Amino acid sequence: MTPFPHSADSAVELRHVRLDRDGRTIVDDIDLRIPNGSVVAILGPSGSGKSTLLAALTGELPVAAGEIRVLGQPIPRSSRDLLNFRRRMGVLLQGNGLLTDLTVADNVALPLRTHTDLDPQIIDTLVSLKLHAVGLGKVGNAYPRELSGGMARRVALARALALDPPLMIYDEPLTGLDPIASGVVMSLVQGLNQSLHLTSIIVTHHVRETLPICDLAVVIANGQVIFQGTPSELESSTDPLVRQFLAGEPEGPIRFDAEPRGETV
Ligand SMILES: Nc1ncnc2c1ncn2[C@@H]1O[C@H](COP(=O)(O)OP(=O)(O)OP(=O)(O)O)[C@@H](O)[C@H]1O
- Residue of 175, 220, 257, 259 to mutate, ligand 1, most atoms within 8 A of C-beta: 257
Q: Which of 130, 127, 124 is nearest to 188 (CA)?
A: 130
What is the atom index within ligand 1 of the atom nearest the CA of 54?
Answer: 18
> What residue's CA is closest to ligand 1, atom 25?
46
ipTM of this complex > 0.90? yes
Q: Residues lining ligand 1, CB < 6 A?
A: 21-22, 26, 44, 46-52, 257, 259, 261-262
pLDDT over 70 at 259, yes or no: no
Structure confidence by residue, pLDDT tens digits, 156-202? 999 999 999 999 999 999 998 999 999 999 999 999 999 999 999 99
Question: Residue range 255-263: average pLDDT?
Answer: 56
pLDDT for 249: 75
Please report, for residues 5, 67, 104, 105, 134, the alpha-carbon distance to residue 58 in angstroms, rounded to integers and kept in the order given.
Answer: 21, 13, 25, 26, 24
**Residues 6 or more apart in contact with residue 146 via CB below 8 angstroms:** none
**Residues 6 or more apart in contact with residue 76 via CB below 8 angstroms:** 59, 82, 84, 85
- Exposure string of 29-43, with b = 16+ CB inside 10 Å and e = fewer, is ebebbbebebbbbbb
What is the atom index within ligand 1 of the atom nearest the CA of 55?
Answer: 18
What is the atom index within ligand 1 of the atom nearest the CA of 22?
Answer: 4
User: Sorting pLDDT into bands at 50, 70 and 90, what band is 76?
Assistant: very high
pLDDT over 80 at 252, yes or no: no
d(CA 49, CA 64): 14
